[in-house]
Structure 1
Amino acid sequence: MTSKAFPSALLRDLAAGAVVFLVALPLCLGIAKASGAEPLAGLVSGIVGGIVVALLSGSSLSVSGPAAGLVVIVVDGIARLGSFSAFLIALLLSGAIQFGFGTLRAGQLASYVPTPVIKGMLAAIGLLLIIKQVPLAVGLTSGGNTESLAGALASISPIVCTVAAISLAILAAWDTHTLRRFALVRFVPAPLVVVVAGVSATLVCGALGATLALPPELRVALPAIKSLAALHDALHFAEFGLSFARLVDPEIWIVALTLAVVASLETLLSLEAVEQIDPQRRAAPPNRELKAQGVGNMVAGAIGGLPITSVIVRSSANVHAGARSRLSAIVHGVLLLVSVFALTDAINLIPLASLAAILIHTGIKLARPSLFIMLAKQGAAAFTPFIVTIAGVLATDLLTGIVLGVLCSAALALWANLHRPIALARHDDHFLLSFRKDVSFLGKVALKEMLAHIPDRATLIVDTTRADFIDHDVRELLDRFIDEAPLRSISVEVLHAATVLPRATRSGA
């Protein structure tokens, strides 16, 4: 970079960092609330992702922080382990596992996960986000009387519903071509507009009287922090005093492994997406990124944060804001840290309904109907693993759903390879026997049936040029037919592929 270009690039990174901060702030708060954690936990992860991970990462434009895709795991993990502090141990262990993935150079393994499975995982996450955020969007709280339909309907707040509806309308409108023509719309992130609208609604409702004011339980509740000592007191720390028996508890390791696998998948997918939208097409080393994410999750687990991944929403905002280097991600992390001390009063005016609307909109984009239609048009080979993954995630958990989807894809691939690998075509007394793919021993039965249909004095062409492998039993059956063909006045011509093994050697031949 030339000396003349350096000031311009620096200003671009500073401006981009500010834009990403404005996108990340409501997302950190909303993901924390959806995860059942305190708002500070989301901000801690944003800070760690913006500073620690960015310093260690090899990606120039990727931005890390708490991800909506991990909300489901966090909620399930806290329920399984009994406390947030115990969950932090699992998070710390997941970071160590991720670092191990990077050390073992496992960054390329995500390429082997079938695309329908990944899309199914993301769609299932989107559906779960929508399901879990709708109650907050209508004003229902855990303490409300929601055991009966009448009690639930009575607890719905018209004001909260209005705030959520306006927020969703803003988010939907911000993505339309009509508004995207305006430079201001392209520059100002939609989540920021939603937050400003929500804060304005809180102030207006409060000014109209106590009966219309949003109660504290329907707004963000970030503790006032005036010093580093106060920040230390507000943080949750992992229970390092857990007994050895708890550390060998399989539940701890199940949560840790699930976090490590899903967080790694999301990070690697995000890296690929960022590479595609990077004007310079700079590729990030996947193994280095896994190590950086692992360190970030270990730090987050140690000081009370949420799981961290590379997040495409923030990363794309970073790219579109004109970022040139990792400095923009670091700036966004520093601004999040400053907000913990300086913006507490403003943050506590944000309605939870506004944050819920942001996550619902994220869920809608992840599970958009057009995705289901697109996969259905691709046929059963793509649509079946997609649906199996979604059903598995909804019925069990993310890791189990992914495993079921991969197994389904493998089974379909195996069936495709075993199903009708040999075809027989006829024209008068001429027959074409085509080996359309690799043929295992299971193709012996089909071949035997086809050869039985070849009449005397026929002409048979055997085309094996498209098969890289033909099982020994299959070749032996074919060789025997060729040897006996002159006895039936059958003319046989064999088209060999260079990679197909030669004729089988039979005992006594």
Structure 2
Amino acid sequence: MYSASSSTASSASSAFSAFKNPAVLRQDVLASLVVFLVALPLCVGVAVASGVPAELGLITGIVGGLLVGLMPGSTMQVSGPAAGLTVLVFEAVREFGLGMLGAIVLLTGVLQIGLGAVRFGRWFRAISVSVVQGMLAGIGLVLIFGQLYTMAGVKQPRSGLEKISGVPGLVADIATSSTALTAFAVGLGTVAVLVGWKKLPAKAQLVPAPLAAVALATAVSAGFGLDVAKVKVQGLLDAVQPPGLNDLTSLGSAGVVGTVVAFTLIASAESLFSAAAVDRMHDGPRTQYDKELIAQGVGNAVCGALGALPMTAVIVRSSANVQAGARTKLSRILHGAWLLLFTALLPTAIGVIPLAALAGVLVHAGCKLIPVKEIGPLWRKHRGEAAVLAVTAIAIVTTSMFEGVVLGLVLAVAKSAWETSHVQVDVRELTGGRMVVTLTGNATFLRLPRILETLEALPKDRPIELDLSAVRHLDHACRTALENWSVRHNDSGTEPVLMKEPVFKA
């Protein structure tokens, strides 16, 4: 039986085993600094894009490092606020208020702990990849179009469609307003640095691209005295807003429950898919999915109690951790410690960062969420999967995150049911006029129109045998339809239709 206390103790022991080996300790400390430098601008940027104080993103990053980093599950992946949940958090805060966010995240964490305890974590690997890619593409599109407005210092429209349709007006605002043009130039410059950073020499790339881009944008804004909006800082402790009793009692409403389900599904899927991707990057211990889901749940429960943003395992930070040479869990724990020290000792440093620069970081992150390279091959080889991806993404942009993901899952299940319900109908005429109709494959209601069209075209004055012995699956709807056809098909006086039962009955 899984024991949380013993597993956590074992995980802590493995994390601090790095202190026994100076070489491993050095690698983990260096890796933790790299992850910290990547996480810092992303934590602040995700919080600002979500419509909450910047410190709430940092709190989630700190919890992801110090708490989740210590727990069993995965060794190398790093948790914190993710761009993939930005749109959903923004919608939740706008609809229910900032006070309810903590309650929603708290309940999300509790659900994740429960799902992990009943060993549901492994089933998240069964979610269609096209649905996940469509989910990320939809999030990326909404994130890109939404942050374009923030880059220009203009208020975002409410819905995804309004954000897209409002782009011509945004272009006009940028062209006619020097303030908007200046802010947009800062954001665009940030994106340019992020895109071009990987083309620089290897030594320059030792500095993480997001940190370099934000630092350069901040330096240029300060050096030239540019009139651009900055991040508002109120202090770490002041930002903590635990959910009140009224918030907790409101969790039973239908709208809140739907949001919690969406948070749970997306955060869990993103974390576990990230774990699968990170496992392919290193040769260390493999992820234990159920324990990782519990760890994510504990982290979200604590973040909810603090009124902070929800967390997931983040592939950007996790890959940076692996590529920086991390060997144990100590690197991700220390990255949380660096975030805490920076936020506690240098809070004013956050207040000089231009909002347009953080918006540029998230526009770049949104572009990376869209699987551009996979769409072409997917369309050529698996058009049904490509259609599921496209419909999921479009539904998220036009409706909401939850509705889009649910539609994608329904389409993926329907597609799989259609593809697995292949049935072959063969008609043979024997000597003496007797006809034998043989069904092979999976006879389900999805294939009934074709089956009945073939059967109803048969002559009604011949003896007919319906051979179902080669059918692998016969569902109730199909059986009932076939029995009704066999009763009413032949004219009176003709030998009744003979049905040969399948070997394996439905």
Residues 50 and 432 from structure 1, CA distance in 2 versus in 1: closer, same or farther, beyond 3 angstroms? farther
Q: How far does residue 52 in structure 1 lie from its aligned partner after superposition?
A: 0.9
> What CA distance in whole angstroms lies between the structure 2 residues aligned with 1:219 and 1:386?
37
Q: How far does residue 345 in structure 1 lie from its aligned partner after superposition?
A: 3.0
> What CA distance in whole angstroms lies between the structure 2 residues aligned with 1:410 and 1:380?
15
Find the counterpart in structure 1 of residue 271 from structure 2: 267
Is 1:395–2:398 an aligned residue pair? yes
TM-score normalised per structure 1: 0.80
Q: How far does residue 90 in structure 1 lie from its aligned partner after superposition?
A: 1.0
Does structure 1 conserve the Cα–Cα contact (< 8 Å) formed by 2:152 and 2:174? no
**Counterparts in 2 of 1:208-223, with a 5 A limit?**
213-215=226-228, 218-223=229-234
Q: How far does residue 404 in structure 1 lie from its aligned partner after superposition?
A: 0.7
Find the counterpart in structure 2 of residue 494 from structure 1: none
> What CA distance in whole angstroms lies between the structure 2 residues aligned with 1:112 and 1:11?
38
* CA RMSD of superposed structures (Å): 3.8
Given residue 341 of structure 1, which amino acid in structure 2 is its aligned partner? A
- Unmatched tracts of structure 1, length 5 or more: 207-212, 226-230, 457-461, 481-499, 505-509
**Which of 327, 331, 348 pairs up with 1:345?**
348
> What CA distance in whole angstroms lies between the structure 2 residues aligned with 1:128 and 1:438?
41
Q: How far does residue 255 in structure 1 lie from its aligned partner after superposition?
A: 1.9
Given residue 75 of structure 2, which amino acid in structure 1 is its aligned partner? S
- The count of corresponding residues between Structure 1 and Structure 2 is 459
Q: How far does residue 173 in structure 1 lie from its aligned partner after superposition?
A: 1.7
Secondary structure class of the residue paired with 2:233: coil
Find the counterpart in structure 2 of residue 91 from structure 1: 105
Find the counterpart in structure 2 of residue 104 from structure 1: 118
Q: How far does residue 436 in structure 1 lie from its aligned partner after superposition?
A: 6.2
Does structure 2 conserve the Cα–Cα contact (< 8 Å) formed by 1:160 and 1:353? yes
**Which of 355, 360, 366 pairs up with 2:358?**
355
Find the counterpart in structure 1 of residue 310 from structure 2: 307
Is 1:283–2:283 an aligned residue pair? no
Given residue 221 of structure 1, which amino acid in structure 2 is its aligned partner? K
Give the share of equivalent positions with the same residue, in percent: 34
Given residue 136 of structure 2, which amino acid in structure 1 is its aligned partner? L
Q: How far does residue 434 in structure 1 lie from its aligned partner after superposition?
A: 8.3
Residues 170 and 3 from structure 1, CA distance in 2 versus in 1: closer, same or farther, beyond 3 angstroms? closer
> What CA distance in whole angstroms lies between the structure 1 residues aligned with 2:128 and 2:351?
43
Find the counterpart in structure 2 of residue 491 from structure 1: none
Find the counterpart in structure 1 of residue 68 from structure 2: 53
Q: How far does residue 284 in structure 1 lie from its aligned partner after superposition?
A: 1.1
Is 1:256–2:260 an aligned residue pair? yes
Secondary structure class of the residue paired with 2:74: coil
Q: How far does residue 252 in structure 1 lie from its aligned partner after superposition?
A: 2.6
Given residue 27 of structure 1, which amino acid in structure 2 is its aligned partner? L
Does structure 2 conserve the Cα–Cα contact (< 8 Å) formed by 1:93 and 1:256? yes
Does structure 2 conserve the Cα–Cα contact (< 8 Å) formed by 1:470 and 1:501? no
Does structure 1 conserve the Cα–Cα contact (< 8 Å) formed by 2:469 and 2:503? no
Does structure 2 conserve the Cα–Cα contact (< 8 Å) formed by 1:423 and 1:436? yes
Q: How far does residue 56 in structure 1 lie from its aligned partner after superposition?
A: 1.6
**Counterparts in 2 of 1:363-382, with a 5 A limit?**
363-382=366-385
Given residue 242 of structure 2, which amino acid in structure 1 is its aligned partner? A
Secondary structure class of the residue paired with 1:31: helix
Residues 314 and 435 from structure 1, CA distance in 2 versus in 1: closer, same or farther, beyond 3 angstroms? farther
Find the counterpart in structure 1 of residue 6 from structure 2: none
Q: How far does residue 220 in structure 1 lie from its aligned partner after superposition?
A: 1.7
Does structure 1 conserve the Cα–Cα contact (< 8 Å) formed by 2:103 and 2:247? no
**Which of 164, 184, 195 pairs up with 1:172?**
195
Given residue 159 of structure 1, which amino acid in structure 2 is its aligned partner? T
**Which of 451, 455, 473 pairs up with 1:448?**
455
> What CA distance in whole angstroms lies between the structure 2 residues aligned with 1:243 and 1:160?
37
Q: How far does residue 440 in structure 1 lie from its aligned partner after superposition?
A: 3.4
Task: Write the deviation string for residues 320-361 of structure 1: whole angstroms up to 9, x where unpaired.
Answer: 000011110011000000111222233222211111111111
**Which of 27, 30, 42 pairs up with 1:12?**
27
- Unmatched tracts of structure 2, length 5 or more: 1-13, 158-165, 488-501
Q: How far does residue 140 in structure 1 lie from its aligned partner after superposition?
A: 2.6
Secondary structure class of the residue paired with 1:78: helix
Find the counterpart in structure 1 of residue 443 from structure 2: 439
Q: How far does residue 291 in structure 1 lie from its aligned partner after superposition?
A: 1.0
Q: How far does residue 423 in structure 1 lie from its aligned partner after superposition?
A: 5.5
Q: How far does residue 72 in structure 1 lie from its aligned partner after superposition?
A: 1.0
Residues 3 and 124 from structure 1, CA distance in 2 versus in 1: closer, same or farther, beyond 3 angstroms? closer
Task: Write the deviation string for residues 240-278 of structure 1: whole angstroms up to 9, x where unpaired.
Answer: 231775243233322222211111111111110111111
Secondary structure class of the residue paired with 2:472: coil
Residues 432 and 9 from structure 1, CA distance in 2 versus in 1: closer, same or farther, beyond 3 angstroms? farther
Residues 236 and 364 from structure 1, CA distance in 2 versus in 1: closer, same or farther, beyond 3 angstroms? same
> What CA distance in whole angstroms lies between the structure 2 residues aligned with 1:434 and 1:367?
47
Q: How far does residue 433 in structure 1 lie from its aligned partner after superposition?
A: 8.8
Given residue 283 of structure 1, which amino acid in structure 2 is its aligned partner? R
Q: How far does residue 113 in structure 1 lie from its aligned partner after superposition?
A: 1.7
Does structure 1 conserve the Cα–Cα contact (< 8 Å) formed by 2:80 and 2:311? yes
Q: How far does residue 79 in structure 1 lie from its aligned partner after superposition?
A: 1.6
Secondary structure class of the residue paired with 2:130: helix
**Counterparts in 2 of 1:145-160, with a 5 A limit?**
153-155=175-177, 156-160=179-183
Q: How far does residue 315 in structure 1 lie from its aligned partner after superposition?
A: 0.2
Residues 77 and 476 from structure 1, CA distance in 2 versus in 1: closer, same or farther, beyond 3 angstroms? closer
**Which of 146, 170, 183 pairs up with 1:132?**
146
Given residue 452 of structure 2, which amino acid in structure 1 is its aligned partner? V
Find the counterpart in structure 2 of residue 80 from structure 1: 95
> What CA distance in whole angstroms lies between the structure 2 residues aligned with 1:348 and 1:253?
35
> What CA distance in whole angstroms lies between the structure 2 residues aligned with 1:502 and 1:396?
44
Find the counterpart in structure 1 of residue 44 from structure 2: 29
Task: Write the deviation string for residues 410-437 of structure 1: whole angstroms up to 9, x where unpaired.
Answer: 222333344x6215599xx9x9998663
Secondary structure class of the residue paired with 2:80: strand
Does structure 1 conserve the Cα–Cα contact (< 8 Å) formed by 2:243 and 2:307? no
**Which of 241, 246, 266 pairs up with 1:242?**
246
Residues 313 and 4 from structure 1, CA distance in 2 versus in 1: closer, same or farther, beyond 3 angstroms? closer
**Which of 62, 73, 84 pairs up with 1:69?**
84
Does structure 1 conserve the Cα–Cα contact (< 8 Å) formed by 2:174 and 2:184? no
Q: How far does residue 200 in structure 1 lie from its aligned partner after superposition?
A: 1.4
> What CA distance in whole angstroms lies between the structure 1 residues aligned with 2:20 and 2:333?
20
Find the counterpart in structure 1 of residue 221 from structure 2: 202
Given residue 68 of structure 1, which amino acid in structure 2 is its aligned partner? A
> What CA distance in whole angstroms lies between the structure 2 residues aligned with 1:386 and 1:148?
29
Q: How far does residue 205 in structure 1 lie from its aligned partner after superposition?
A: 1.2
> What CA distance in whole angstroms lies between the structure 2 residues aligned with 1:286 and 1:372?
28
Residues 46 and 421 from structure 1, CA distance in 2 versus in 1: closer, same or farther, beyond 3 angstroms? same
Does structure 1 conserve the Cα–Cα contact (< 8 Å) formed by 2:73 and 2:293? no
